[in-house]
Structure 1
Amino acid sequence: MQINWEALGQVFGVSLVVTVTLVGVFTLGIVGTSSRKPQEQPDGTVAAPVAPGAMMRTGAYACFALCAAAVGYGIYLIVS
């Protein structure tokens, strides 16, 4: 039995890069949809959490769409 170590290394490298990238993009999506932490004011009161703006939410939804497309493409590659 012969193992093609070069091909195995390529598959490992590509899998590692794609996995780290996909997790990073998903994390950006989560951060983009999260409210900011309430901040304590100088007078001792705590302000309400700030909701993300429209631009940040749009970017977050784009990150989620990119993740869904990558997962869909992976399923397509497995099935075909």
Structure 2
Amino acid sequence: MKIDWAALGSVFGVSLVVTVALVGLFTLGVVGLSKQEQARTAGGGSASLAPRLGAYACFALCAAAVAYGISLIVA
């Protein structure tokens, strides 16, 4: 049995980058929701819309990346 170390390293590198990116994107979503809560308690009405939309966009991108990964596994 021969192991293709270059392919193994490539898969490791890509999965590491994608994992860090997804965790960072999810973290940005959580931070956006917390900023929205802080803006609401401070009394800003429309100022809390931008962080909420940004957070929802981050969560949507996370869901799209997970759905793409699942489709790659299933196909």
Q: TM-score range by the shorter chain?
A: 0.7 to 0.9
Q: Note if 1:5 corresponds to 2:5.
A: yes
Runs of 4+ aligned structure 1 residues displaced above 2 Å come to 48-52
Unaligned runs of 5+ in 2: none
Worse overlay, 21-30 or 52-61: 52-61
Task: Report the residue type matching 1:24 in the other structure.
Answer: G
1:65 to partner: Cα distance: 0.1
Please name the residue that 1:59 is paired with: 54
Unaligned runs of 5+ in 1: 37-47
Q: Aligned equivalents of 2:59 and 2:29: distance in 1?
A: 6
Q: Aligned equivalents of 2:41 and 2:61: distance in 1?
A: 28
Superposition CA RMSD, Å = 1.7
Please name the residue that 2:24 is paired with: 24
Q: How many residues matched?
A: 69
> CA offsets, 1:12-37, max 9 Å, x none?
0000000000000000000101133x
Q: Which of 58, 62, 65 in structure 2 is aligned with 1:70?
A: 65
Worse overlay, 6-15 or 52-61: 52-61
Q: Aligned equivalents of 2:69 and 2:41: distance in 1?
A: 37
